[in-house]
Amino acid sequence: MAGVKGMGMHFYRFDSPGRVKLEKISPEPPDGLGKQEAKARFEELNEELFALQDLMWGARTHSVLMVLQGRDAAGKDGAVKHVVGALNPRGVRVTSFGVPNEVERRHDFLWRVHLHAPGTGEIAIFNRSHYEDVLVVRVKKLAPREIWKERFSLINAFEETLVAGNCILLKYFLHIDAEEQEKRLLAREKDPNDAWKLNVEDWKERALWDEFTEAYEDVIGRCASADAPWIVVPANAKWYRNLVIAESVAEAMRPYRKKWRRTLDEQGKLVRKDLRAWRTGASRR
């Protein structure tokens, strides 16, 4: 379950179903990893990701979907800003999922989500996702138990469908503790640039901290698989959160690099052959 990386990095990758206890996972960055060192590595990874994205875009055989989940102020928007900021916008799609609108409510819970799944070549990022339908819906009792319980297996089947279509799927839980959340919510309230992001619901949901913890533990425990792992990101420090996300997505894409390169080389050869044939034909005329 645990993923231990170089540079003293630690984060937890769940790639099979099982019991999850979030209180056993520290939301703090590991001791011994400095912020400057982490930032330098983050820059390096961004360059690598940019190159990988370019290869994937050209090869058009695979896609990437990053699902971001976490409590209010856990850093979902910050993760989007920092991780996507380094990519080529041509091939990136970010979708935020809020309270379902009237049309969405008249369809099954996956309908609005599937529409935004990435096409081959693309990287899609979900800021919240289909998981809200087993998280907020469960905790705030927006649907009866029989309904949301059935959704774990529906979600697994849906994600298997995406993976079968060559989607590299990663699901992130941005893990902060209650003190960090309080600090961030209060700081937002004071800052005129940030206050608009707040909502009374944030505080109401904070009061349901333990219920959300249980719901997240169930989600991670039931919907983790080798092809669609959950990654618990220690997110009390923003710089470490960004590093873990970049490192894990690079790690997931890296094994395909040679394959994408080969696909592009073969396509290049075919185009060159066509061009040669065309020039030869033209010179004869």
Least CB distance from residue 202 to Mg ion, whole Å? 5
Nearer to ligand AMP, 49 or 135 (CB): 135
Residue 132 binding partner per list ligand AMP, Mg ion, none, with a CB distance cut-off of 5 to 8 Å that depends on partner kind:
ligand AMP
Residue pair 106/212 in contact (Cβ under 8 Å)? The answer is no
Least CB distance from residue 24 to ligand AMP, whole Å? 25
Q: Binding to ligand AMP by residue 74, rule CB under 6 A?
A: no
Q: Binding to Mg ion by residue 122, rule CB under 5 A?
A: no
Q: Binding to Mg ion by residue 132, rule CB under 5 A?
A: no
Residue pair 236/205 in contact (Cβ under 8 Å)? The answer is no
Closest CA to 209 of 47, 115, 71: 71
Q: Binding to ligand AMP by residue 99, rule CB under 6 A?
A: yes
Three-class SS state of 171? strand
Cα separation, 175 vs 216, whole angstroms = 10
- Beta strand 167-175 with 63-70: parallel, antiparallel or unpaired? parallel
Residue 181 exposed, middle or buried by CB count within 10 Å (0-12, 13-18, 19+): buried
- Report which secondary-structure segment, H or E, holds 12: strand 10-14
Choosing from 9, 56, 72, 170, the residue that interacts with Mg ion (CB under 5 A) is 72
Q: Binding to ligand AMP by residue 247, rule CB under 6 A?
A: no
- Quote the strand ranges of 134-279, DSSP E: 167-175, 230-234
Residue 88 binding partner per list ligand AMP, Mg ion, none, with a CB distance cut-off of 5 to 8 Å that depends on partner kind:
none
Q: How many binding residues for ligand AMP (CB under 6 A)? A: 12
Nearer to ligand AMP, 98 or 192 (CB): 98
Nearer to Mg ion, 106 or 196 (CB): 196
Choosing from 12, 97, 172, 173, the residue that interacts with ligand AMP (CB under 6 A) is 97
Cα angle for residues 35, 39, 44 (degrees, 5° grid): 150
Q: What burial letters (b/e) apply to 105-115, b meaning 16+ CB within 10 Å?
A: eeeebbebbee
Q: Binding to ligand AMP by residue 72, rule CB under 6 A?
A: yes
Percentages of the chain per state (helix, strand, coil), in multiples of 5: 55, 15, 30
Least CB distance from residue 250 to ligand AMP, whole Å? 26
Residue pair 181/206 in contact (Cβ under 8 Å)? The answer is yes
Scan residues 127-146 and list those touching ligand AMP (CB under 6 A): 128, 132-133, 136-137, 142
Segment lying near ligand AMP (by CB under 6 A), choices 82-90, 96-104, 173-181, 219-227: 96-104
Residues engaged in binding Mg ion (CB under 5 A): 72, 199, 202
Residues engaged in binding ligand AMP (CB under 6 A): 72, 97-100, 128, 132-133, 136-137, 142, 201
